[in-house]
Structure 1
Amino acid sequence: MSTNNKGILLSLNSNWLWRWFWRVTFVVSIFYVWYCFYVPSNNIAWADDYTSARQAADQSRKPIILFFTGDWCVPCKIMKRQVWADDLVMKIVNSEFIPVTIDVDNPKNASLLDRYNIGGTPITIVTDPNGEALRWHVGGIGKPEFLKLLRRAAP
């Protein structure tokens, strides 16, 4: 076999390998992106907005959990997947708190962002029924730390 034929065979073999490499890389990348943005549903009774949460808190005398988030916030999605979707977290939050998500990109929430001095996401604040901050956490938080936050703020 001539050296020219060896080069062609080597070229064909390496092209085949590269095609498979890029296909596998593409598929893995698609699954990774899906995983980053996948948020499972949960059974937390989220209030529609801050005003309705305050009204519910006034009636029930329960503290409010404000979860400041955005559609683009990857750490927020991780918290929704790993913390908010947990059965124990759902049980405690639904029984002892009035939870509300605050979209930081919604102009209607600008006064809340100013009131609580919100500059990023995720931020979790537990307030009394009147809206005074009791506990807060800036940044992503895991389930054990989140449960400690809830226990310290529970009535």
Structure 2
Amino acid sequence: MGLFDSVAGGLGQMLGGQQPQGGAGDNPMLQAVMGLMNDNGGLGGLLSKFQQGGLGDLVQSWVGTGANLPISPAQIQQVLGSGALGDLAGKLGMQPDQVAGALSQSLPQAVDAMTPNGQLPSENDLMATAQQMLGKFFG
């Protein structure tokens, strides 16, 4: 399975099996996840939050070039907290545990896709990578 297939599969899981229509503006889960990244200072800030939560080994596996270690919905809940998950759930019309489950399935793949060289990209590189991923996925 290719890189973009993995990301597309992860996003499909996040959307509850729905296929995205149109651009990112039509995809509330994608908007919510991007908002989560923005609220935490970008990709680096979000990953730092997981590291501070004691999950540095997991985060490093997502960024690195090897296999991605899994994260549980409970670990997502522990790091992000009920407030952030509740906010996301409200925006998406889902329950917080459903959002935590979707993130646990998709976040490792998304981070892996945004760090193809095994390290955090610069903000400009990250934006270019995200645009390229979205273009291929939503094209």
Query: Normalising by structure 1, what TM-score?
Result: 0.26
Task: Write 1 or 2 for the structure with the bigger share of strand.
Answer: 1
Structure showing greater radius of gyration is 1
The answer to which structure, 1 or 2, has the higher relative contact order (CA under 8 A, 6+ apart) is 2
Task: Write 1 or 2 for the structure with the bigger share of helix.
Answer: 2
